Structure 1
């Protein structure tokens, strides 16, 4: 960044954009300047025109003026339980909350499930900050959402809108413990790791960034060690990598897969019984894992439940969760990275490399999207895709990439195969390789790792859809779900 001055509330977005070429993805209730195109070049009517439906435009709230910002506690709940909203509104005025569920919905991408009554907004106290840990746990509750028994499980987004037209978002999850073919795990721990709230040029901090007294963005060595879930997400209120999960959800629900939903913190807390599912699906960027999360995933695999990792750089950092000051569990996230006393927080540097679960592991960033090069095209994963050995799937190696590390031990397996071997140039201009992995554990469980950020967007992101990746993913999930 150097000394160049930028608008403070955009700092975090600019800093993180390099690691996710897909951003947040299209969301059906937004109205934006970016056009999305289908495979025939036609503009996809993705955005709802709020100006037409409400009689006035909407504007995105920011972290400097805090026109409307909020967070929920807990982040996931079951029908019959409640989710508490903590919201600040400046200047004080009425606001409403529209609740959407992410899904296919005939191509709309989400459906509005309910709208709150008109609520009275107040200016909540400024965030508290200590040693770069920013928390809003002292905010009053603004609204309690009692989740009706008839609501479907899923990924939900609350859209907050003030009377004068400012808007922000809060994601949350509705879960249950009923059996299903597939359990989708939303990476809320990784989402929070990237959260720079408030992006105000002064106070905000993530596990990646903080600011100095001149409003310049600082790097990892000056970032937070502990961050709180008791705060809004920066900017528009949606996590930086949320689009990856939503792409998978839209596609999977369109094709009728039997899905249950939970968060990474549910996996951590032991609320998940893997034996209820044929497979656990990790659909998005899922970089930060606790020890209990890893133990739960390993137990799932060893008990015959398959694992599907549809991104890259999975399970890279080892983290801890602790209760908030008020005693609420799993509201503080700590990762020392390579700072302070104790061992490194990299799994591979504490003798637990990711490859021992995934079959491959993180290799590095991909500055420019590159083709995924098909390997072992006779394998059933590539059935009916039309793919042949050496075929290139344009732009599918992007963001970050994994590969097989020959000097790192592999998990115990009955068979194992690499299904892509793709050259790309790193930021220094050196040639590196991405790989896609599949192995079968002795329990019979399949473990698939795509090794690239671009896999989920290829399922249902306008402009990124690839029919070969859709078919390959269906081949994998159908086999896991024992579909004919």
Structure 2
């Protein structure tokens, strides 16, 4: 991206890959389409303020709501309401602290939702806070591109009741004057379950450009210069903090991938437990309690303890399911905050330190040695997924035949098998899709979907595309063949009849 001039209002479209049709979907049940499309169907960054957008040439204003009282999305320039939680995952009976800024200071409330099918609603409201007094917190601190709000005062403590179900939750923050933002968190427990869903909070934070204000914000991809221009990876942060809100509406990029899987899995009654990838890193996940670990979407950043935990799970007989592409690409480190809270700082040096590689494949441990395939590259436009080995049990009862094309199922990013890279030890290995496409330079590439059985008996599945999770339960993207194939896989892992 270099030093090309980019207005701050356009930054989200570039930094958050708005052109990727499977990178959106923050929560259709919590927001209206007016935050995303103008009258011609053009995508609008979700943090655009209508009043300001009208003054910015070339920026489409969101469609106005007919109801003056409808909530408006907070942005990072004015910070009408923004917040973060003291930890990503919490157990029933524990407390979760929220640090929230409100500008101008006024009362606000917090509605807590749990993600699930809920008869098609996508979530259920679990509790609502009392009216709370909001204050304008101090400006975020920045040191060498690392932005932190660790100095914000405590705004609200949620004591999680012991009877709450484990799951993915969202706290919806709403001011009296109608601005709204979100804070995702996870409720986990140690009870055995068939499947453990691991929410990719490490990757979510890597992409977090908060605050997207044209001055301060930085992610592992972007930062701003003194003139408000958005810079690329060479000038980006090498360390980012979990002690800050997520940019824009307060929801991570690609959060929809996880929520798509959750709604589908709970609709069909799978026994699912929940944790974050930082739980995997910290050793809080005991794989022996589960038949399979599910990684639902865009899980790009992995620490050494995360990978070792996944390898131990596979080698002890616990299956692994990777429903996206570009998994385990960058190696990262997690460190405590300045106050000693574990795993609040995420570091990935990428290519900023000469001689210090950060790609797993450049460190002598290609991701294919666990996944069975590995990252190929971006897919500029959605392409069909071409079925291969249609007589395999994964495709059973899907109606798919050899060579059938599943429209739009290769999108965003794609993986493939690299013949010169070692495969993991296996007793059975098969490629279940081989899908040609052209990259942005017009070069012919292909995507592949992989499944192998480890000597322990564990199955390891990698979809090799961003489009798999959205095909399960995202309006406009569902595919019955992918739904059935996923059920065939999970039923076998869970030993269902």
The answer to whether the 8 A contact 2:105-2:136 is kept is yes
Q: CA deviation at 1:29?
A: 2.0
Do the aligned partners of residues 322 and 34 (structure 1) sit closer, same or farther apart at CA in structure 2, a change above 3 Å counting? Answer: closer
State how 1:12-27 maps to structure 2 within 5 Å. Answer: 12-17=12-17, 20-25=20-25, 26-27=27-28
The answer to whether the 8 A contact 2:293-2:320 is kept is yes
Q: Does 1:441 align with 2:454?
A: yes
**What is residue 373 of structure 1 aligned with on the other side?**
386
3-state DSSP class of the match of 2:311? Answer: helix
The answer to whether the 8 A contact 1:9-1:63 is kept is no
3-state DSSP class of the match of 1:238? Answer: coil
3-state DSSP class of the match of 1:300? Answer: helix
Q: Does 1:8 align with 2:27?
A: no
Q: Does 1:30 align with 2:27?
A: no
Q: CA deviation at 1:163?
A: 0.4
**What is residue 113 of structure 1 aligned with on the other side?**
126
The answer to whether the 8 A contact 1:438-1:448 is kept is yes
**What is residue 409 of structure 2 aligned with on the other side?**
396
TM-score w.r.t. the length of structure 1 is: 0.95
Do the aligned partners of residues 19 and 330 (structure 1) sit closer, same or farther apart at CA in structure 2, a change above 3 Å counting? Answer: farther
Q: CA deviation at 1:368?
A: 0.4
State how 1:108-257 maps to structure 2 within 5 Å. Answer: 108-257=121-270
The answer to whether the 8 A contact 1:372-1:394 is kept is yes
The answer to whether the 8 A contact 2:172-2:180 is kept is yes
Structure 1 CA distance for aligned equivalents of residues 281 and 355 of structure 2:
22
Structure 2 CA distance for aligned equivalents of residues 165 and 77 of structure 1:
29
Do the aligned partners of residues 177 and 9 (structure 1) sit closer, same or farther apart at CA in structure 2, a change above 3 Å counting? Answer: farther
**Per-residue Cα deviation, 1:385-442 (whole angstroms, up to 9, x for no partner):** 0101100000000000000000000000000000000000001101100000000000
**What is residue 476 of structure 1 aligned with on the other side?**
489
Do the aligned partners of residues 3 and 404 (structure 1) sit closer, same or farther apart at CA in structure 2, a change above 3 Å counting? Answer: closer
The answer to whether the 8 A contact 1:343-1:350 is kept is no
3-state DSSP class of the match of 1:319? Answer: strand
3-state DSSP class of the match of 2:85? Answer: strand
The answer to whether the 8 A contact 1:89-1:124 is kept is yes
**What is residue 279 of structure 2 aligned with on the other side?**
266
Q: CA deviation at 1:446?
A: 0.1
**What is residue 479 of structure 2 aligned with on the other side?**
466
Q: CA deviation at 1:339?
A: 1.6
3-state DSSP class of the match of 2:104? Answer: coil
- Aligned length in residues: 470
**Per-residue Cα deviation, 1:323-362 (whole angstroms, up to 9, x for no partner):** 0011000000000001215530000001000000000000
Structure 2 CA distance for aligned equivalents of residues 380 and 431 of structure 1:
30
Do the aligned partners of residues 127 and 34 (structure 1) sit closer, same or farther apart at CA in structure 2, a change above 3 Å counting? Answer: closer
**Per-residue Cα deviation, 1:260-279 (whole angstroms, up to 9, x for no partner):** 00000000000000000000
Structure 2 CA distance for aligned equivalents of residues 5 and 406 of structure 1:
41
State how 1:313-462 maps to structure 2 within 5 Å. Answer: 313-340=326-353, 342-462=355-475
Q: CA deviation at 1:27?
A: 2.6
Unaligned runs of 5+ in 2: 38-63
Structure 1 CA distance for aligned equivalents of residues 162 and 368 of structure 2:
41
Do the aligned partners of residues 303 and 3 (structure 1) sit closer, same or farther apart at CA in structure 2, a change above 3 Å counting? Answer: closer
Q: Structure 1 residue aligned with 2:313, among 296, 300, 305?
A: 300
The answer to whether the 8 A contact 1:10-1:199 is kept is no
- Structure 1 segments of 4 or more deviating over 4 A? 1-7
Q: Structure 2 residue aligned with 1:91, among 76, 84, 104?
A: 104
**What is residue 80 of structure 1 aligned with on the other side?**
93
The answer to whether the 8 A contact 1:190-1:287 is kept is yes
3-state DSSP class of the match of 1:17? Answer: coil
Do the aligned partners of residues 19 and 184 (structure 1) sit closer, same or farther apart at CA in structure 2, a change above 3 Å counting? Answer: farther
Do the aligned partners of residues 189 and 81 (structure 1) sit closer, same or farther apart at CA in structure 2, a change above 3 Å counting? Answer: same
Structure 1 CA distance for aligned equivalents of residues 416 and 23 of structure 2:
23
Q: CA deviation at 1:33?
A: 2.9
Structure 2 CA distance for aligned equivalents of residues 172 and 139 of structure 1:
18
The answer to whether the 8 A contact 2:3-2:231 is kept is no
3-state DSSP class of the match of 2:16? Answer: helix
Q: CA deviation at 1:57?
A: 1.4
CA RMSD of aligned residues (A): 1.8
Q: CA deviation at 1:257?
A: 0.2
The farther-off stretch of 436-445 and 17-26 is 17-26
The answer to whether the 8 A contact 1:61-1:67 is kept is yes
